[in-house]
Amino acid sequence: MSFGLDVPFVPTPEPVVRKMLELAGVTKGTVVYDLGAGDGRIIIMAAKEFGATAVGVEAHPGRAELIEKRIEEENLKDKVTLIRGDFFKVDVSKADVLALYLLTSVDQRLEPKFESELKPGAKIVSHDFPFPGWIPDKVVEVKDSPFTHQIYLYVMPPKKAKRGLADEPFRAFFGYKAIGGSVGAELHLKR
Ligand SMILES: C[S@@+](CC[C@H](N)C(=O)[O-])C[C@H]1O[C@@H](n2cnc3c(N)ncnc32)[C@H](O)[C@@H]1O
84 pLDDT higher than 70 = yes
Query: Residue 182 in contact with residue 8, Cβ under 8 Å?
Result: yes
Calculate how far, in angstroms, residue 123's C-alpha sits from the geometric centre of ligand 1: 19
pLDDT in tens, 143-173: 999 999 999 999 999 999 986 555 444 444 4
Question: With a threshold of 0.95, does the pTM exceed it?
Answer: no
pLDDT in tens, 13-62: 999 999 999 999 999 999 999 999 999 999 999 999 999 999 999 999 99
CA distances, 33 to each of 30, 134, 178, 179 (Å) = 10, 20, 23, 26
At residue 43, φ and ψ (nearest 5 deg) are -70, -35
Calculate how far, in angstroms, residue 163's C-alpha sits from the geometric centre of ligand 1: 26
| pLDDT value for 174 | 52
Q: What's the topology of domain 14-190? A: Rossmann fold (3.40.50)
Calculate how far, in angstroms, residue 44's C-alpha sits from the geometric centre of ligand 1: 15
Assess whether the C-beta atom of 107 lies below 6 angstroms from ligand 1: no
Assess whether the C-beta atom of 20 lies below 6 angstroms from ligand 1: no
d(CA 45, CA 146): 23
Per-residue pLDDT band at 100 (split at 50, 70, 90): very high
Q: Which residues contact 58 (CB under 8 A, 6 or more apart)?
A: 36, 37, 38, 40, 64, 67, 82, 83, 84
| pLDDT value for 121 | 98
Assess whether the C-beta atom of 126 lies below 6 angstroms from ligand 1: no
Atom of ligand 1 nearest to the CA of 10: 1
Domain ranges of the chain: 14-190
| pLDDT value for 165 | 54
